[in-house]
Amino acid sequence: MKKEVIISITGKQRVDGEDDVVELTTMGNYYVRDGVQYIRYDESGATGYDGCKTTLKVKGNDMVTMIRSGPCRSQLIVEKGRRHQCHYATEMGDLMVGVLGSNIRNGLDSHGGSIRFAYSLDVNACLASENEVSINIKECNG
C-alpha cells in the first residue's frame, strides 16, 4: 500500500576536494512490494532536475537503484562493493558513468525511517565525484 510521506534528502558531493551539499524536503510516496522498498518523489528546480520524477528501489543493505524519468532520464545502481556502468542524463547530454557503492545503511521499515548510502562516480575510469546521500521518510499525519 502506497503511503504519502514527507521525504527529506541531503546529498553531499565532493569534487576535486570541494564539497557541495544539496538539501530537499518534498512530498512523495513510500511503499514495499515483494520485499523491495520504493521511494518516489518529484524533483524540483533546487536539485536541477525540475520536471523529473525519481524512484529509489531499495533492496536491503545491498543495493539502491535510482531511476529518474522525465527530461533527464537516468538509472544509477549503487551496490556495496560493486561497480556498475550506468546511464546518466544531464542538460548537457548523456553519459555512461561507473558507480561504485561503498556503504549502504538501511533503517527503513513499513512506516518509513532512514537510509544512507555512499558511492563514487567515474567517467572514463577517472574519479568524477564522491557522494553521500541521506534520506529520511516520515508518514504524513492526517
State how far the Cα of 111 lies from the Cα of 138, in Å rounded to an integer.
7
The mean per-residue pLDDT over the stretch 24-39 comes to 94
Parse the chain into domains and list their residue ranges: 3-139
The whole-model pTM stands at: 0.89
Q: Is the pLDDT of residue 142 over 70?
A: no
pLDDT, tens digit, for every residue of 44-98?
A: 766 667 778 999 999 999 999 999 988 778 899 999 999 999 988 777 778 889 9
Q: How many CB atoms lie within 10 A of CB 5?
A: 22
Q: Hey, what CATH class is 3-139 in? A: mainly beta
Q: What is the pLDDT of residue 62?
A: 92
Backbone angles phi, psi at 37, to 5 degrees: -95, 135
Mean pLDDT, the chain, integer:
90
Nearest to 117 by CA among 60, 72, 32: 60
Using CB atoms within 10 A of its CB, is residue 29 exposed (0-12), middle (13-18) or buried (19+)? middle
Q: Is the pLDDT of residue 119 over 80?
A: yes
Whether the pLDDT of residue 132 is over 90: the answer is yes
